[in-house]
Structure 1
Amino acid sequence: MNEVPAKNILIVEDDDIMLKVVERILKREGYGVEIARDGKEALQKVQDNKYALIITDLMMPYANGFEIISKVNGNAEKRTPVIILSSLGNEDSIMEGFKMGADDFLRKPVMVGELVIRVKRLIDQNK
């Protein structure tokens, strides 16, 4: 398994505009960023690498965010923090994500300051 720098974040998002916005914000804050444009690509990256944090959409092609959360935290020695980033606002989806191991939820469109604070908090907690 390849080691990834402690501040490396995986963004899983099928909306190119949202992906670029989040990527730009995180890079500006000094984080290393890898991207996956669908669930299948994300599952491969998670299998091959370790991340300080994963930010994932819920509704995507091939594998959804719930599957990613389950895979990431299902059998890991050390949990990887996960933030759900979704336009889905229904409480059932959010609660399901938390039950599966998500650590936080951000609604799209994301507010820059809120994203930065939540990312820093989760990464600092898991050092």
Structure 2
Amino acid sequence: MNTSEKKIMIIDNDDMTIEILKFLLNREGYKISIAKDGITALERIPSIMPDLVITTIIIPLKSGLEIINHIKENYKEIRVIALSSLGEEEDTVEEAFKLGVDDFIAKPFNPNELLLRIKRLL
């Protein structure tokens, strides 16, 4: 499957992060969908069935940890990368891995590193 057939959902409420990710991922040919809060994300996942979800830990309405938990319980084939601002608690990162997150990247992130990690997961 080439990248143009791969679907990535971005779950973040930070417009700058969304714009950076959209630019990067569109340039690579991925199909992008965006949710700015956890409830919208959980509602859209079944219809979109993304190959990969990139979620921030702290987002409105449902946390990134709740989203990771939901995905890993219900959609084991969906890969998840968690994004977290520097300074967020180390135990949050630990909790994300316990819930089954596939990778974790601190913000601000290196775009090339993120792309390599996405390609590795997909």
TM-score, normalization by structure 1: 0.87
1:10 aligned partner, one-letter code: M
1:29 corresponds in structure 2 to: 28
The SS at the match of 2:43 is helix
Tell whether the 8 Å contact from 1:6 to 1:51 is kept in structure 2 after alignment: no
1:46 Cα offset (Å): 1.2
Question: Does residue 16 of structure 2 align to residue 13 of structure 1?
Answer: no
1:73 Cα offset (Å): 1.3
Equivalent pairs, count: 118
1:67 Cα offset (Å): 0.9
What is the aligned-residue RMSD (CA, Å)? Answer: 1.4
1:1-127 aligned at under 5 Å gives the runs 6-76=5-75, 78-88=76-86, 89-123=88-122
Tell whether the 8 Å contact from 1:6 to 1:52 is kept in structure 2 after alignment: no
Whose helix proportion is higher, 1 or 2? 2
Aligned partners of 2:28, 2:13: CA distance in 1, in Å? 22
1:64-107 CA-partner distances (Å, limit 9, x unpaired): 1011111111133x421100011054321101001101000011
Please list every run of at least 4 consecutive aligned residues from structure 1 whose deviation after the TM superposition is greater than 6 angstroms.
Answer: none
1:36-84 CA-partner distances (Å, limit 9, x unpaired): 01111111111322111000000011001011111111133x4211000
Q: What is the aligned-residue identity percentage?
A: 42
The SS at the match of 1:110 is coil
Tell whether the 8 Å contact from 1:11 to 1:35 is kept in structure 2 after alignment: yes
Structure 1: which 5+ runs fail to align?
A: none
1:9 Cα offset (Å): 0.1
The SS at the match of 2:10 is strand
TM-score, normalization by structure 2: 0.90
The SS at the match of 2:19 is helix
